[in-house]
Chains A and B, each alone.
Chain A
Amino acid sequence: MSLQAVLPDTISGLLGLEGILGDVVGGLVGAFLIANIMLIMTAFAGPWAKRKITAAFGDRIAVNRIGPFGLLTIVTDAVRLLSKELIVPEGVDRPAWDLAPMVIPFSALLGFAVIPMGNGIQLADPETGLAFAFAAASIASLGIVMTGYASNNKFSLIGALRAVASNIAYEIPLVVTAASVVIFAGSLRMSEIVAVQAEPLLSVAGVTIPTWFAFVNPFAFALFIIANLAEVGRNPFDIPEAPTEIVAGFQTEYSSVYFVLIYLGEFIHIFLGGAIAATLFLGGPAGPVLPGFVWFTIKIWAFFLFTQWARSAIPRLRVDQFLEIGWKGMLVLSFANLVLTAIIVGVIV
Chain B
Amino acid sequence: MSLEEQQSDDPAELESGVSRGDELADLLGDLVVGREEHLNAPGLVIRPDEVQDALFKLRDEAGFDHLSCVTAQEYEDRYESIYHLTKFDDRTDEVSVVVPTSKDNPVSQSAEPVFRTADWHEREAYDLVGIQYEDHPDLRRILLPDTWQGHPLGLDYDQDRPQIATLREHANPLEEDHRAGDSNTMYINIGPHHPATHGVLHVETVVDGEQVVDLDSDIGYLHRCEEQMCQQGTYRHQIMPYPDRWDYISAGLLNEWAYARTAEDLADIEVPEYAQIIRTMGAELCRIASHMIALGTFALDVYGDFTAIFMYAMRDREIVQNILEDLTGQRMMFNYFRLGGVVWDLPEPREEFFEKIRDFIDELPQALEEYHDMITSNEILQARTVGTGVLPPEVAKSYGATGPVARGSGIDYDLRRDDSYGYYDELDWDVVVEDGCDNFSRLLVRMREVEESAKIIQQCVDLLEDWPEDERNIQANVPRTLKPEEDTEIYRAVEGAKGELGIYIRADGTDKPARFKIRSPCFSNLQTLPEMSEGEYIPDMIASLGSLDIVLGEVDR
Contacts and interface: CB of A to CB of B under 8 A. Distances in A.
Interface of A: 54, 57-60, 154-155, 158, 235-236, 238, 242-247, 311-321
Contacts of B186: 154
A210 B40 CA distance: 81
28 contacts: A54-B305, A57-B307, A58-B311, A59-B312, A155-B188, A158-B210, A235-B305, A235-B307, A243-B195, A244-B195, A244-B301, A244-B542, A245-B539, A311-B305, A312-B305, A313-B374, A314-B303, A314-B378, A315-B303, A316-B304, A316-B380, A316-B384, A317-B383, A318-B383, A318-B537, A319-B210, A320-B210, A321-B384
Nearest to B311: A58
B308 A312 contact: yes
Contacts of B384: 315-318, 321
B380 A238 contact: no
Interface string B373-407: 01100101101100000000000000000000000
A60 B307 CA distance: 11
Contact of A154 (B188, B195, B306, B311): B188
Contact of A315 (B195, B315, B380, B542): B380
B540 interface: yes
B304 A243 contact: yes
Contact of A244 (B210, B300, B315): B300
Given A312-B308, A320-B210, A236 B301 contact: no
Nearest to A321: B383
A328 to B, nearest CB: 14
B551 to A, nearest CB: 17
- Interchain residue pairs A-B with the least CB separation, the first 4: A58-B311, A244-B196, A316-B304, A315-B381
A60 B306 CA distance: 11
Contacts of B195: 243-244, 247
Nearest to A56: B308
Contacts of B188: 154-155
B310 A58 contact: yes
Interface of B: 186, 188, 194-196, 210, 299-308, 310-312, 315, 374-375, 378, 380-381, 383-384, 537-540, 542
Given A236-B380, A247-B194, A247-B195, A316 B537 contact: no
Nearest to A55: B311
Nearest to B382: A315
Contacts of A311: 305, 307
Most buried by A among B210, B302, B315: B210
Nearest to B193: A247
B311 A315 contact: no
Contact of B304 (A58, A154, A242): A242
**Max chain B C-beta neighbours (<10 A), residue from A59, A154, A238, A318:** A318
A313 B308 contact: yes
A281 B450 CA distance: 47
A58 B306 contact: yes
A318 B310 CA distance: 19
A243 B195 CA distance: 7
A60 B314 CA distance: 11
Contacts of B315: 59
A11 B389 CA distance: 62
A314 B310 CA distance: 12
Contacts of A247: 194-195
Nearest to B541: A245
Contacts of A158: 210, 538
Given A311-B307, A315-B302, 6 more contacts: A57-B308, A238-B304, A243-B305, A244-B196, A246-B538, A315-B380
A38 B542 CA distance: 37
B307 A245 contact: no
A245 B305 contact: no
A317 B378 CA distance: 12
Contacts of B301: 244
B539 A318 contact: yes
A219 to B, nearest CB: 20
A316 B196 contact: no
A313 B375 CA distance: 9
A236 B312 CA distance: 19
A59 to B, nearest CB: 6
Contacts of A236: 380
B479 to A, nearest CB: 50
A109 B303 CA distance: 30
Contacts of B381: 315
Interface centre among A58, A158, A235, A311 (most CB of B within 10 A): A58
Contacts of B312: 58-59
Contacts of A244: 195-196, 300-302, 304, 542
Nearest to A244: B196
A63 to B, nearest CB: 15
A311 to B, nearest CB: 6
A61 B285 CA distance: 27
A246 B195 CA distance: 9
Given A154-B188, A314-B378, A315-B380, A245 B306 contact: no
B311 A242 contact: no
Contact of B537 (A154, A155, A320): A320
A31 to B, nearest CB: 34
Give the interface centre of A155, A312, A315 by most chain B CB atoms within 10 Å: A315
Contacts of A245: 196, 304, 538-539, 542
Given A158-B210, A246-B538, A58 B380 contact: no
Contacts of A54: 305-307
* Residue among B194, B196, B301, B307 with max Cβ neighbours from chain A (10 Å): B307
Nearest to A239: B539
B437 to A, nearest CB: 19
Contacts of A60: 311
Contact of B540 (A57, A154, A318): A318
Residue among A57, A244, A317 with max Cβ neighbours from chain B (10 Å):
A244
Contacts of A321: 383-384
A235 B196 contact: no
A240 B194 CA distance: 16
Contacts of B311: 58-60
Contact of B303 (A59, A155, A235, A320): A235
Contacts of B194: 247
A117 B388 CA distance: 47
A259 B378 CA distance: 33
A312 B304 contact: no
B475 to A, nearest CB: 41
A317 B381 CA distance: 8
Nearest to B388: A318
B210 A235 contact: no
Nearest to A57: B308
B539 A58 contact: no
Contacts of A57: 307-308
A154 B542 CA distance: 17
B237 to A, nearest CB: 40
A305 to B, nearest CB: 15
Contact of B380 (A312, A314, A320): A314
A246 B67 CA distance: 36
B414 to A, nearest CB: 29
A319 to B, nearest CB: 6
A155 B188 CA distance: 8
A57 B542 CA distance: 25
Contacts of A313: 307-308, 374
Nearest to B306: A58
A270 to B, nearest CB: 15
B539 A242 contact: yes
Nearest to A314: B380
A154 B311 CA distance: 31
Nearest to B537: A318
A238 to B, nearest CB: 6
